[in-house]
Structure 1
Amino acid sequence: MCIIKKAERIDLQEILQLQYLAYQSEAALFGSRDIPPLKQTIDEVIEEFNSGVILKMTDEKDTIIGSVRAKESDGTVYIGKLMVHPNHRHKGYGSMLLSEIEGYFPDKRYELFTSTRSLDNIRLYQKLGYTIFTRKVMNDELEFVYMEKNGNDQY
């Protein structure tokens, strides 16, 4: 049985290690490891911890197998770094983490983004009520879709 709760400062290194592992599949979509989640430092994770909410999902051995982060600004909750250990994907854990982080910021507007190549992510977010509201081309290889959901909407 998995448990989701707020991460503590002591968890941040383990979450960063999970991030490096979980984002390998994203890097493979581009044929490059030069993506921000794989270059993030522990100091940057600590900064996110201090300014927002980081959740962790642990398994029965208390190992962190999933995580998500969010920060509110001007009525919008910016959600990022939703990740699940590769051995635990396709079990609904991503949906559980996303729903749980939304619960920390009820009745807000939620925003997140992902690469246009991340079709599984886009499908998951759409299934959970998110809609694409804009796209941003970063370069020839990289385009992001920005998705939103209003917390008082039912899906």
Structure 2
Amino acid sequence: MIKICKATKEDLPQILDLQYLAYQSEAEYLNNYNIPPLKQTLDELEEEFENKIILKAISDENKIIGSVRGNLQDNTVYIGKLMVHPDYRNRGLGSKLLLELENYFPKSRYELFTSTQSAHNIRLYEEVGYVAFDQRKVDDKLTFVYLEKQ
């Protein structure tokens, strides 16, 4: 049975390894391996750990197979780096991680973003109640869609 709980500082190297693995498919899809999740360092992740809640999903084999981060600012929880190990995708784990993170910040507004090209991600977010409210063009090839949940 998969367990979701708060990550510890000792988990961060394994979460970063998972991040590098999980975001390969996004980089391939975007044809851009220079995306921030693939460039983040352990020091940067440790800095995030100080001011964000980082959750982990643990398999029966005690392996971290999913993670998500969030922090509260002015009654909005900014959610980022939702990731699931490729071997565990399409089983509802991403939704469970999102919903568990929301439980840490009840009665808040939640916001996240993804590429407009990431139809699977957008569908996942919409299935758990997120609605698009903005789009921002990064460059000629990349536009982010911002979604919120009240």
Fold shared, TM-score > 0.5 on shorter chain = yes
SS of aligned partner of 1:112: strand
Contiguous gaps of at least 5 residues in structure 1: 151-155
Give the partner amino acid of 2:138. M
The equivalent of 2:21 in structure 1 is: 21
SS of aligned partner of 1:17: helix
The equivalent of 1:132 in structure 2 is: 132
The runs of at least 4 consecutive aligned structure 1 residues that moved more than 2 Å come to none
The equivalent of 1:31 in structure 2 is: 31
SS of aligned partner of 1:14: helix
Q: Aligned equivalents of 2:100 and 2:146: distance in 1?
A: 20
Aligned-pair CA distance for 1:61:
1.0
The equivalent of 1:117 in structure 2 is: 117
Identity of aligned residues (%): 57
Give the partner amino acid of 1:115. S
The equivalent of 2:4 in structure 1 is: 4
Aligned-pair CA distance for 1:72:
0.5
RMSD: 0.5
Q: Aligned equivalents of 1:117 and 1:47: distance in 2?
A: 30
Give the partner amino acid of 1:121. N
Aligned length: 150
SS of aligned partner of 2:140: coil
Residues 17-69 of structure 1 show CA distances to partners (whole Å, capped at 9, x for unaligned) of: 00000000100111121101000111111111100100000001110000000
Tell me the TM-score normalized by structure 1.
0.96
Give the partner amino acid of 2:90. H
Aligned-pair CA distance for 1:91:
0.4
Residues 79-135 of structure 1 show CA distances to partners (whole Å, capped at 9, x for unaligned) of: 000000000000000000000000000010000000011100000101111000000
The equivalent of 1:43 in structure 2 is: 43
Give the partner amino acid of 1:58. I
The equivalent of 2:149 in structure 1 is: 149
The equivalent of 1:153 in structure 2 is: none
Q: Aligned equivalents of 2:95 and 2:124: distance in 1?
A: 7
Tell me the TM-score normalized by structure 2.
0.99
Q: Aligned equivalents of 1:31 and 1:149: distance in 2?
A: 29
